[in-house]
Structure 1
Amino acid sequence: MRLTNPLFRPVLFACLVAVVAVLGGCASLGPKADALHRTQYAWSGAIRWGDFEGAWGLLDPDMRDEKPMTDLEMERYKQVQISHYRDIGGMSDLDGGTAARDIEIGVINRHTLAERTVRYQETWRWDEEAKRWWVTSPMPDLWSGQ
């Protein structure tokens, strides 16, 4: 299309409108949604790469105080390697300060090298005072069904 073509300006305008619409859809959903995404990413990474102590630090402080993890429980987590951590669905109520995700975790026993899949549901709550999200579900039970 040449610059002198009478269709050039309407086509250019339509393209610009489309680009603006697409970029507008990429805008942030807000600080609470961004914080949830970042915290879920940190949680997923900690579990996926075997940083269970790091994951423990993302649990709701009330839960950590109520039922502290023993050294034996932490040692059990060192007996496994995670092969995958997949989000298979979820929901969030940002205004209500809650979220949940269904997760599939691939677990490899370091001693037998046997792999199996475990399902886990994460639950989250927004802490208005701390301005952050906490995991309110317990650490994943990687030994269920054994």
Structure 2
Amino acid sequence: MKNGRKQHSGRNTGLRPAHAAFVLGLLLSFLAAACASNKVAESLSEAFKQYETIVRWSQWDAAADFIAPEYLVDNPITRLDMDRLRLFRVTAYTIRSTGIYDEGMTSRQTVEIKMFNKNKGVERTIIDDQEWRYNEESQRWLLHSGLPDPTQRY
């Protein structure tokens, strides 16, 4: 130690070029993965906003466009379902909880929806449990739980 400073042994402690390239490649792959997952998360937020707006305006045909085609095969939307929804005007849409699962590829959201029956003049509250899955092929989030059910009792 000279003048209270530790002397350097002169040994090179830096990374070798091959190691530096490996570390750089690793960092770039992490950055690319983070950007991709951020893009998926942003698209989920956008899908939630779009769907909420459509439901708030009681645009049920447009809301049905968010439903995954494979879900519709087993759970088709009937004319009765759509006619029943058209009896209602949404007066409130409140998100109660949101969770992300399956490494960011599935989301579940619970929403409280207040619906005013235009024929009866009565408001009712329902809970809509939504399951969203990211479709990598179409690069969009699709609903795998159907439209809100106004016959539900809360």
Task: Give the alignment's TM-score, normalised by structure 1.
Answer: 0.75
Q: Kindly indicate whether the alpha-carbon contact (under 8 Å) linking 2:41 and 2:104 is maintained by their aligned counterparts in 1.
A: no
5+ long unaligned stretches in structure 2: 1-34
Unaligned runs of 5+ in 1: 1-27
- State the partner residue of 1:138: 146
RMSD: 1.8
- Alignment partner of 1:109 is 2:114: no
How much identity, in percent, do the aligned residues show? 24
Q: Deviations over 1:92-130 (max 9, x none)?
A: 137241001110000111011111211111111011111
Q: Please tell me whether Structure 1 or Structure 2 has the larger radius of gyration of its CA atoms.
A: 2
Q: 1:32 aligns with which of 37, 40, 61?
A: 40
In 2, Cα distance between equivalents of 1:119 and 1:68? 20
Cross-structure match for 1:99: 107
Deviation at 1:66, TM superposition (A): 2.9
Note the 1:37-116 alignment, pairs <5 A. Answer: 37-93=45-101, 95-116=103-124
Q: Which runs of 4+ in 1 moved over 3 A?
A: none
Residue number in structure 1 paired with 2:30: none
TM-score, L = length of structure 2: 0.71
- CA gap 1:33/1:94 in 2 versus in 1, 3 angstroms: farther
The structure 2 residue matched to 1:128, chosen from 136, 141, 146, is 136
